[in-house]
Structures are given as C-alpha cells and as structure tokens.
Amino acid sequence: MAAYAIASELAAENLDLGRAVVVDGLHATHERREAWAGLATSAGSRLEYVETFVSDEDEHRRRVELRSSGEAGYLGPSWDEGQAMPYEPWDEARPGPRLVVEMSDVDVALAAVVTHLDRTR
C-alpha cells in the first residue's frame, strides 16, 4: 500500500533529523510491524509498539466512520475495508512486546501511553 511507503519515508527522514516519530496505522501483519522495527534499527532509534482497541464495537465503528468520512481531516480505510484486512495475532518473538490500551476513555488511554513511554526510556 502506497500510504505505508510514504509514512515510512517520512518517518525515516524525521528519525534522521533526530526527531521522535509516532506512526498511527492499522499495522495488522507481522510484515508491516517488522518493517517499523527495521526502520528504527537502521536509524538507531528506540521503538515502542502500542496496540489500541475500543471494546465497544458500535463505538469503534462510529469512530472509524467519522474518520473515514473526512470530517476529522483524515481519510483512512472505511469500517468495511478495515474489517476485510488480514490480522495476524501479535507474536512478541517477532516484532517485540507492545503496550495494549483500551481507548474508550481517550484521556485515560493517553495518560497510560505517556506513563509507559516515560517508564521505558
């Protein structure tokens, strides 16, 4: 997918400049997850995986549909496109460990991520 290639190039450029990078996307396959690990390794950067989910499927769908409508300034995959994408269960032996965060309360979830990142520095 072209979007991943563009995101990877932008991330690499920013890492080369010494900037921190956050990549938000549906990285549902080992291949995509490992690509980010390779990029971080080649840049000599730390990599932290954060997997997010919304336990209420109706709320999850509402958020995805709002995003994919363009109203939020982002055009990503629709709910149906996301559901059709293959998902490979996480295998910590391949890309490494990750923090799993439930996103029903975004403020609480963000605080958990920041705390995790501070603790793993």
Domain ranges (residues) in the chain: 2-119
How many whole angstroms separate alpha carbon 79 and alpha carbon 77? Answer: 7
How many whole angstroms separate alpha carbon 30 and alpha carbon 94? Answer: 7
pLDDT of the residue at 111: 97
Contact status, residue 96 vs residue 38, Cβ threshold 8 Å: no
Cα first-last separation, the chain: 32
Look up the pTM and report it.
Answer: 0.82
Q: What is the pLDDT of residues 65-108, one digit of tens each?
A: 888 766 666 677 889 988 998 899 998 888 889 999 999 999 99
Q: What is the pLDDT of residues 24-73, one digit of tens each?
A: 888 889 998 999 999 999 999 999 999 999 999 999 999 988 887 666 66
